[in-house]
């Protein structure tokens, strides 16, 4: 069995050798039997299809053959042909023939329906079932009618629907069609791939650090290099580099140095295309201006925290930034019903007033301790914004944002006082608390304890997700090292809360996360060694105190 096609089935493929001048019945029967035999052979693929024979080209005798497939007439193969005529080597040449044939079939269908109606109503008053949906059948045929010519009013719209032509300052031009935009490029494709890569990494239904994420990441890298990053950059380019940095931080296959390099490159490109300048300078208004400001401040926060974690300078100074911080009213207007990006307006103000100077003070070659104390006072004046949701809300986005906000100030204090803490613990080992940096020792220790407490609580709430976020464990490791250092100094054991207990609790959290997080596993090796040293010192002190008590008792 084969489908019927609205082309002349085999008539055009008759060769002169099969035609006979005989007009009697026996001659006609002989011709028909010959045609039937050839049709059967063509269906079985024993001889060339009718269309290839008509064109006198080689046929591979498949059904449909590859030639008919390439020409778009595979539905004709193997017995149908395109009507002969000028340009009939292509299937579109039969369009007029199809219209005429369709009109004949439609007229015949109407006649048959009328006859069926007359015959059916002679013995039944209800309409025949085949005639109940006649209008639906005719609907598609109306679409084949030629479209009317455009009126004068419609003709005036032609320049607006025919596309656009972009000409740059040097005279280079580029055309975009009616449905085209200046956005269909490689960096947009790279953005799609890197979003998929990060999505796979944080998908809790998939194993962490899987190969599928790496596959999408490498596709993003391949698409990114198809277009010059420095000379043909855009907002999309910045987002790709930014998210590649985030992926590197989440993936154990890459290192934090690459994360720092990528996000700083994103920052340099952002300043290159003017993101650090307020968009109102170029007459941007409304939602577009708000989005540019929000993205700049979120990107800057990521750059600064990467700098703190890796100990590398950011290269962006507050003196060069004129981009305004969005207002609370704008945030409520443009992000109503959405989760604010990052920490919202509160986070943007914190980045400008505290995080920028914090990076420049801590990473400078000769930091001034007076400036450290001044910034300490400024950070302590920060007031966390009121929660914009129910504290019992356990949604992941709300829970993670609340978690970071809870120790944001402590984290800045930790990094602010860490250099001075190191000086006190290495240069004034006899009594660090009485050194010129004694305040930094206490501040860094208490801030570290707060960070570790919040991390432990959040790990208990969202263990699978927390294990996959690299920054959580980088910050927690810095805090744990500070607590462990205090625990190994006999002259600081009277600090509250008890250093050894705090350190043992921190190591327990890292021990649980090490099963999933490679960064926690690497950190655990260092912390275990430090813990062993702290335990030995504690045992030694207890033995010494025991002997001392016994001696006092004898005396």
User: Which tens digits make up the pLDDT trace of 204-237?
Assistant: 888 877 788 889 999 999 999 999 998 888 999 9
Q: How many CB atoms lie within 10 A of CB 429?
A: 13
**pLDDT in the model for residue 38:** 80
**pLDDT in the model for residue 28:** 54
Mapped onto helix, strand or coil, the DSSP state of residue 165 is strand
User: Which tens digits make up the pLDDT trace of 490-539?
Assistant: 887 778 888 999 999 999 999 999 888 888 888 999 999 999 998 888 78
* H helical segments located in 176-285: 186-201, 211-224, 235-250, 256-272
Most confident of 13-17, 241-245, 253-257: 241-245
To the question of pTM greater than 0.75 for the whole model, the response is no
pLDDT at 3 over 60: no
The residue ranking higher by pLDDT, 31 or 360, is: 360
**pLDDT in the model for residue 477:** 94
Closest CA to 467 of 539, 519, 390, 525: 519
Q: Identify whether the C-beta of residue 240 lies closer than 8 Å to the C-beta of residue 247.
A: no
For residue 502, what are the CA distances in angstroms to 122, 421, 453, 533? Answer: 98, 18, 9, 15
Q: Identify whether the C-beta of residue 398 lies closer than 8 Å to the C-beta of residue 389.
A: yes
Q: Identify whether the C-beta of residue 120 lies closer than 8 Å to the C-beta of residue 129.
A: no
Q: 220-229: long-range contacts (C-beta < 8 A, 24 or more apart)?
A: 220/190, 220/191, 220/193, 220/194, 220/244, 221/190, 223/186, 223/187, 223/189, 223/190, 223/193, 224/186, 224/187, 224/190, 226/186, 227/185, 227/186, 227/187, 229/265, 229/269
% of the chain at pLDDT higher than 70: 77
Most confident of 118-122, 125-129, 331-335: 331-335
User: Which tens digits make up the pLDDT trace of 262-321?
Assistant: 999 999 999 998 999 999 998 888 999 999 999 999 999 999 999 998 888 888 888 889
CA atoms within 13 A on the CB side of 234: 12
Cα of 443 vs its chain's centroid, Å: 39
Domains of the chain, residue spans: 25-97, 402-555
User: Which tens digits make up the pLDDT trace of 67-88?
Assistant: 888 887 877 788 888 776 545 5
Cα of 395 vs its chain's centroid, Å: 21
Task: State the pLDDT confidence band at 188, using cuts at 50, 70 and 90.
Answer: very high
């Amino acid at each position: 069995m084969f489908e019927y096609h609205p082309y002349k089935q085999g008539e055009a493929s008759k060769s002169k050798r099969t035609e006979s001048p005989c007009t009697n019945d026996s001659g006609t029967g002989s011709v028909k039997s010959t045609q039937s035999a050839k049709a059967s052979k063509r269906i079985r693929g024993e001889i060339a299809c009718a269309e290839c024979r008509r064109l006198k080209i080689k046929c591979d005798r498949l059904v449909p053959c590859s030639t008919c497939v390439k020409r778009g007439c595979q539905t004709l193969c193997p017995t149908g042909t395109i009507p002969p005529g000028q340009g009939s080597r292509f299937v579109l040449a039969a369009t007029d023939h199809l219209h005429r044939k369709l009109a004949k079939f439609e007229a015949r269908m109407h006649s048959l329906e009328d006859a069926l109606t007359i015959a059916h109503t002679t013995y039944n008053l209800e309409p025949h079932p085949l005639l109940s949906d006649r209008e639906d059948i005719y609907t598609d045929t109306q679409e084949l009618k030629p479209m009317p010519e455009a009126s004068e009013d419609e003709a005036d719209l032609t320049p607006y629907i025919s596309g656009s032509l972009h000409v740059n300052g040097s005279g280079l031009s580029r055309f975009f069609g009616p449905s085209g935009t200046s956005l269909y490029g490689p960096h947009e494709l790279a953005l799609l791939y890197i979003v998929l890569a990060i999505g796979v990494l944080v998908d809790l239904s998939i194993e962490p650090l899987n190969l599928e994420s790496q596959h999408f990441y490498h596709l993003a890298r391949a698409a990114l290099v198809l277009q010059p990053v420095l000379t043909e950059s855009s907002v999309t380019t910045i987002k790709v580099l930014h998210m590649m940095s985030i992926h590197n931080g989440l993936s154990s296959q890459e290192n934090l140095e690459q994360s720092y390099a990528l996000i700083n490159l994103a920052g340099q490109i952002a300043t290159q295309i003017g993101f650090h300048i307020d968009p109102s300078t170029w007459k941007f208004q409304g939602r577009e201006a708000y989005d540019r400001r929000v993205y700049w401040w979120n990107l800057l926060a990521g750059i600064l925290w990467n700098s703190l974690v890796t100990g590398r300078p950011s290269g962006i100074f507050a003196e060069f930034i004129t981009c305004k911080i969005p207002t609370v009213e704008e945030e409520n207007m443009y992000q109503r019903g959405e989760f604010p990006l990052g920490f919202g307006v509160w986070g943007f103000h914190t980045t400008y007033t505290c995080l920028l100077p914090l990076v420049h003070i801590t990473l400078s070659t000769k930091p001034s301790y007076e400036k450290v104390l001044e910034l300490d006072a400024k950070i302590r004046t920060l007031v966390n914004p009121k929660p914009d949701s129910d504290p019992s809300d356990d949604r992941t986005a709300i829970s993670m944002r609340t978690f970071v906000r809870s120790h944001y100030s402590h984290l800045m204090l930790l990094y602010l006082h860490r250099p001075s803490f190191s000086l006190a613990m290495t240069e004034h080992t006899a009594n660090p608390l009485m050194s010129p940096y004694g305040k930094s020792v206490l501040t860094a220790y208490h801030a570290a304890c707060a960070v570790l407490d919040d991390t432990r609580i959040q790990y208990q709430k969202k263990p699978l997700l927390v294990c996959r976020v690299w920054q959580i464990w980088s910050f927690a490791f810095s805090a744990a090292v500070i607590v462990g250092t205090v625990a190994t100094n006999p002259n600081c054991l009277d600090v509250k809360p008890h250093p050894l207990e705090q350190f043992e609790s921190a190591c327990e959290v890292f021990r649980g996360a090490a099963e999933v997080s490679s960064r926690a596993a690497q950190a655990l090796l260092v912390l275990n060694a430090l813990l062993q040293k702290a335990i030995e010192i504690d045992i030694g002190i207890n033995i010494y105190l025991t002997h001392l008590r016994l001696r006092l008792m004898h005396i």
